[in-house]
Amino acid sequence: MSNQKNTAIIRFFGLFLILATIATVILAACGGTANPQTATTGTTPTAAATVAPTATPTPAPTPTPTTAPTPTAAPPTPTPQPPPPTPKPQPPAPKVVQVSIIMQNGQFAFSPATITIPKGSPVVWTNNTGAPHTVTSNNGQFTSSGTFNQGQTFSATFATAGTFTYHCSIHTYMTATVVVTG
């Protein structure tokens, strides 16, 4: 009986020693190597550990594009683009000068009797009486009109400077003058 008990104890301790040896070898492989490294070159692992975490977290929080979408929504307001009233280069348009044929103190007359116009300006005579009249050049300096009645008009353009006298061929006392300036 005692021999069998001793044998069981020996086997138990033998198994225990085997397990303890295996555990010691595993610990020596993992922790045993770490101890000499920390003792001799302990600065290398600590430096690598400190540099790595600091570099990685900084770039991650930087992306803050939350402010960008807010200003982009505002710009689509500029719609003030109605500048079409630019084509107005019409200063050399000749001014039309009006002469009225009227009844004045019982007589027909050109009114105004004398007009002064720039070269190239058209003149329009309007018959505002009940009688027919003409605009006839005294010496043929410009093309005369035919007879025009009440409400009708005659127009002429004086292209050259000078003094142009005219009359009515029906009522020869009706005389007037057109002065054309250069």
- Interaction site with Cu ion (CB under 5 A): 108, 133, 168, 170-171, 174
Q: Shortest distance, CB of residue 94 to Cu ion, whole angstroms?
A: 27
DSSP bridge pairs for 179 = 116, 163
Whether the link from the prior residue into 112 is cis, omega within 30° of 0, is yes
Q: Both tokens of residue 95?
A: 């001014």
Alpha carbon distance 85, 91 (integer Å) = 15
Task: Rank residues 121 and 178 by Cβ distance to Cu ion and give the closer one.
Answer: 178
Task: Rank residues 108 and 164 by Cβ distance to Cu ion and give the closer one.
Answer: 108
Task: Rank residues 113 and 161 by Cβ distance to Cu ion and give the closer one.
Answer: 113
Task: Rank residues 122 and 132 by Cβ distance to Cu ion and give the closer one.
Answer: 132
Alpha carbon distance 113, 175 (integer Å) = 7
Alpha carbon distance 47, 45 (integer Å) = 6
Q: Shortest distance, CB of residue 134 to Cu ion, whole angstroms?
A: 7
Task: Rank residues 133 and 164 by Cβ distance to Cu ion and give the closer one.
Answer: 133
Q: Shortest distance, CB of residue 135 to Cu ion, whole angstroms?
A: 9
Residue nearest to Cu ion (CB): 168
Q: Is the distance from CB of 102 to CB of 129 less than 8 angstroms?
A: yes
Q: Shortest distance, CB of residue 116 to Cu ion, whole angstroms?
A: 23
DSSP 11-53: HHHHHHHHHHHHHHHHHIIIIIHHHHHHHHS-HHHHHHHHHHH
Place of tokens 């020693």: 17
Q: Shortest distance, CB of residue 162 to Cu ion, whole angstroms?
A: 24
